[in-house]
Structure 1
């Protein structure tokens, strides 16, 4: 207990990290006050001047205490060591899930992700969250994430608060998030807090870790397809730090080394660089600077003969930069001010002999946001804030050439201003009942310069255009987005939660493919393109059992309006009249999500199961009747297990099963006579497929087993240099999971049949990781 003296209260900043210098969730006791650290492992306490004993405890770590004399604003740091015994009095993770009024959310730390079997040894935060109920991916190499019936563009993907528009490498096989630079990843599927908006389905937030404030450290790894290196250390010991992490694949280099004659200049590689700088100005103020850049590069050349030449080249990537100032203004007030920039760019070229096509597109954002929190009492927490974003869309510019003739096509750039303000109240009405209510008001207007095509009532271009000057308003939208959540505690181990959320989305992804490939285009709302709107209700039951078990069950229903699709055969690239290709409809999704977790002991893991249904309805499609969304999956199961055999050996395994994706297949084919070829005296025929209902066919079920083992040769070594090996096997029983199905004609048997394309067979891998 502190011995208080008279005087104004002082700020005590407590930082808690583990032996890997990563912030962790911990419980802090200082005198009569208690606190829980945030996602960075930091907590702020306002205390009267005097002597205090500060005690720290955290699940899975040995506790620690330190006596201090507090006469001015002070910062202290604790480094906790892992413990082989489970702490009894504190269960931080369970407290957060059961007692906080936030449902439909999950958080995975990098320690949990490192234990999961991986594809080719690459830790992947995006792939990790698809093992949770209600979160699905497009398949083995699909980079789309589908949350509770939403599309791949309906997820707000953030890296340290900065929006990421294309979060994958290798067309979805890997994410852009380097595991060595990541601290954790969280996903919110429902009950979205008022500070988030702009997407209909979810918030996927990746937090990068801070550098070591004590000493210079190096870590990295060498895998089969890529290597990575991270350097981190203090700028001012105990107060500021930096971290730089880089990764590059070397598929191209290995291929050229193994087969230089046949590979030539062909190849593919990706790279990314993360950098973060944290500066503590004083106990109440800190600044963080973030930077990321990454690129994918693909090149294909083929000389078929002396007069035939094929060439394809594509490169795409993201650049992110941000600065954030955090300030504890008083005991009850704190604020956070951020400035962000992000861009996504794509360039590609295709050449065949003397004919060629060039294409480029992109998107640039500039954003300012400011968030405030006010604590008028221990039972009430108020939040308010605003944000503004300037969008610049580059829908496409390109050229085609045929011999000596060149045709240049340039789609007009588009500009948009997006803004939002919010206010929320988190109120403990009693020790059992908590209400979280919020209102977000969002705004978007499309502005010039731009030349718009004029469409008739039938949706066909009239041939007329309207020219808008710079800054002139073209279309304006404003929507209120109410949020409401309730939590009731039956006891410390049992709670129920209810939530209602309305979300609005002003950007759409123009795609006719099954996943978000780099050729896809982001387009803003306009006079013809309306914002997407979703209303979701959810109810959940949460129970924490003894011996480290935790269970949750959530049911949800979501209604979506102004869902966007394209007419079959729509031309997206270099189409000045792209809006005429769009159709709008509604969607609905509902389901039940179950999750059982075991968090303590040598065997840990979880079992997740989702029973769900997702539909779309468009007047122009399927006779106006509802049809299953392409990623409607009735059943989705994931089983994850980690077993710590000893300090040297840890084993992990995961099994996934899901209903096959829905797709449209022809139910017949007929031959159509196009005319007569007089050069060889023969008729010209073509085959035309006949289709019935949309998405009335199911691919075979997807299921896969992955295993991995981690070997640490000298776990008790006191030397600075440490290393471990990871051996993993992807798709252990060599399941031929479908990537897509196409129609083929057997000319000999005169039959038509569907053929399945599979991407990944059984894939063993090994990687070596080190730190010093």
Structure 2
């Protein structure tokens, strides 16, 4: 019995070995293409050259000596030889070709044709390479919109940096290292803005007047700034507004937690400039007016801003920008005695800036600016003292701040 079992096991093992031998023989009998790839000019071997079998997903690459080997399942095929910086070579392998002899393939160097890249420079932009810029924090316009808690406000966005704070949750007053807001200067397009806040009546300056959709960038100077910024004691926040699109007209409409914001921009007809117009308004009063109760306060703020750029020639440019903000808050009187008491408080801000820039001797840039700033706050109350005797009291309190700025800037641009 043991002899029969041993015989069966022996026959089974022999059968497995024979099948394995035939399978391996079938694999090893596949035609193999091998060869060496060289640089046709220097005769040096080309490593990492791609060899692909056309019509299939098979392929390989050459080693450090330019040698390759590829197994194929057919006698006739086509190979594509490719290497970066060399012209592709297609080789036809026919049945008559001896697969045992290595191929000698020479690739010719070829110039690569890439797509053109256009770089547009602005000769009016001042170079950022200076020692002064070591203490400057740059805030991009997209960061103002994306930062959590910034509420689309560049002054609130600046509070992410160490030492920079605000006056509280309900105002955007800029403070740095414990300073008062008056010790921090805010500048827009090179002109100081004494009171750069809106929603002053409802929130005491809850948001700044800067529209994130019209801002190019914001630079926060935390120290080491030059005499260009006057009497700033703690920091300087410099806001630069952007030009309108010069390629085509664009329109956008956005809605955030407080405002509805619309922007229109485009190029001038002669192609020598651009325009940018923005309208912004709060919508709280519109939503609350339908269900407001007696004694409710309904504040609103609306703003229009714009920038016009005109190029007389490549060396002379004129820019004119405006900003007008108007906000108001009314106190609703009671329904029983609607004429007994009325209160209205409003604040207006008007800003205009004209700048003419010239390039002299290709490097000397001269910029002349004239700007006006006007800020007015008015508080009006009416109170009925004695209805029988027709006695009433009216109170008007207002404050006004007006500034005229003349600024001349010159700098030499160094490559």
TM-score exceeds 0.5: yes
Q: Which residue of 1 aligns with 2:263?
A: 230
Q: Which residue of 1 aligns with 2:90?
A: none
Q: 1:263 to 1:126 in 2, by over 3 A?
A: farther
Higher strand share: 1
Q: Which residue of 1 aligns with 2:404?
A: 366
Larger radius of gyration: 2
Match of 2:366 among 335, 347, 367: 335
Q: Does 1:165 align with 2:203?
A: no
Q: How far apart are 1:159 and its partner, in Å?
A: 1.5
Q: Which residue of 1 aligns with 2:185?
A: 156
After superposition, where does 1:514-533 map in structure 2 within 5 Å?
none
How many residues were matched structurally? Answer: 286
Per-residue Cα deviation, 1:687-733 (whole angstroms, up to 9, x for no partner) = xxxxxxxxxxxxxxxxxxxxxxxxxxxxxxxxxxxxxxxxxxxxxxx
Q: Which residue of 1 aligns with 2:249?
A: 216
Q: 1:190 to 1:272 in 2, by over 3 A?
A: same
Q: Does 1:313 align with 2:322?
A: no
Deviation larger for 323-332 or 264-273: 264-273
Instruction: Check conservation: 2:248, 2:266, Cα contact below 8 A.
Output: yes
Q: How far apart are 1:317 and its partner, in Å?
A: 2.4
Match of 1:115 among 146, 159, 163: 146
Q: Which residue of 2 aligns with 1:131?
A: 160
Q: Which residue of 2 aligns with 1:197?
A: 230
Q: Which residue of 1 aligns with 2:375?
A: 344
Q: Does 1:256 align with 2:289?
A: yes
SS in 2 for 1:103: helix
Instruction: Check conservation: 1:312, 1:349, Cα contact below 8 A.
Output: yes
After superposition, where does 1:625-704 map in structure 2 within 5 Å?
none
Q: 1:283 to 1:268 in 2, by over 3 A?
A: same
Q: 1:348 to 1:101 in 2, by over 3 A?
A: closer
Q: How far apart are 1:290 and its partner, in Å?
A: 0.6
Q: 1:332 to 1:225 in 2, by over 3 A?
A: closer
Stretches of 4+ aligned residues off by more than 6 angstroms: none
Q: How far apart are 1:194 and its partner, in Å?
A: 2.1
Equivalents in 2 of 1:361, 1:107: separation in Å? 35
Q: Does 1:240 align with 2:292?
A: no
Q: How far apart are 1:351 and its partner, in Å?
A: 3.5
SS in 2 for 1:65: coil
Match of 1:65 among 110, 117, 137: 117
Equivalents in 2 of 1:176, 1:304: separation in Å? 35
Q: Which has the higher contact order (CA 8 A, sep 6+)?
A: 1
TM-score with structure 2 length normalisation?
Answer: 0.63
SS in 1 for 2:220: strand
Match of 1:357 among 392, 395, 400: 395
Q: 1:180 to 1:359 in 2, by over 3 A?
A: same
Equivalents in 1 of 2:173, 2:221: separation in Å? 16
Q: Which residue of 1 aligns with 2:48?
A: none
Instruction: Check conservation: 2:294, 2:332, Cα contact below 8 A.
Output: no
Q: How far apart are 1:305 and its partner, in Å?
A: 5.3
- Segments of structure 2 that go 5 or more residues without pairing to the other structure are 1-114, 122-126, 386-392
Q: 1:112 to 1:196 in 2, by over 3 A?
A: same
Instruction: Check conservation: 2:294, 2:333, Cα contact below 8 A.
Output: no
After superposition, where does 1:46-85 map in structure 2 within 5 Å?
65-66=117-118, 77=120
Q: Which residue of 1 aligns with 2:30?
A: none
Instruction: Check conservation: 2:320, 2:354, Cα contact below 8 A.
Output: yes
Higher helix share: 2
Q: Which residue of 2 aligns with 1:286?
A: 317
Instruction: Check conservation: 2:132, 2:226, Cα contact below 8 A.
Output: no
Q: How far apart are 1:341 and its partner, in Å?
A: 0.6
Equivalents in 1 of 2:395, 2:323: separation in Å? 30
Q: How far apart are 1:255 and its partner, in Å?
A: 0.7
Equivalents in 2 of 1:213, 1:332: separation in Å? 24
Q: Does 1:181 align with 2:214?
A: yes
Instruction: Check conservation: 1:185, 1:207, Cα contact below 8 A.
Output: yes
SS in 2 for 1:195: helix
Per-residue Cα deviation, 1:463-499 (whole angstroms, up to 9, x for no partner) = xxxxxxxxxxxxxxxxxxxxxxxxxxxxxxxxxxxxx
Q: How far apart are 1:148 and its partner, in Å?
A: 2.6
Equivalents in 2 of 1:130, 1:156: separation in Å? 15
Q: Which residue of 2 aligns with 1:721?
A: none
TM-score with structure 1 length normalisation?
Answer: 0.35
Instruction: Check conservation: 1:157, 1:204, Cα contact below 8 A.
Output: yes
Match of 1:324 among 352, 355, 363: 355
Q: How far apart are 1:142 and its partner, in Å?
A: 2.4
Q: Which residue of 2 aligns with 1:598?
A: none
SS in 2 for 1:215: coil
- Segments of structure 1 that go 5 or more residues without pairing to the other structure are 1-62, 67-75, 79-94, 379-772
Q: How far apart are 1:149 and its partner, in Å?
A: 3.0
Q: 1:329 to 1:350 in 2, by over 3 A?
A: same
C-alpha root-mean-square deviation of aligned residues, in Å? Answer: 2.7
Equivalents in 2 of 1:212, 1:218: separation in Å? 10
Equivalents in 2 of 1:267, 1:168: separation in Å? 19
Instruction: Check conservation: 2:186, 2:193, Cα contact below 8 A.
Output: yes
SS in 1 for 2:144: helix
Instruction: Check conservation: 1:246, 1:272, Cα contact below 8 A.
Output: yes
Per-residue Cα deviation, 1:167-221 (whole angstroms, up to 9, x for no partner) = 2222222211111111111111210112111332221111111100111110121
Instruction: Check conservation: 2:166, 2:173, Cα contact below 8 A.
Output: yes
Instruction: Check conservation: 1:304, 1:310, Cα contact below 8 A.
Output: no
Q: How far apart are 1:306 and its partner, in Å?
A: 4.2
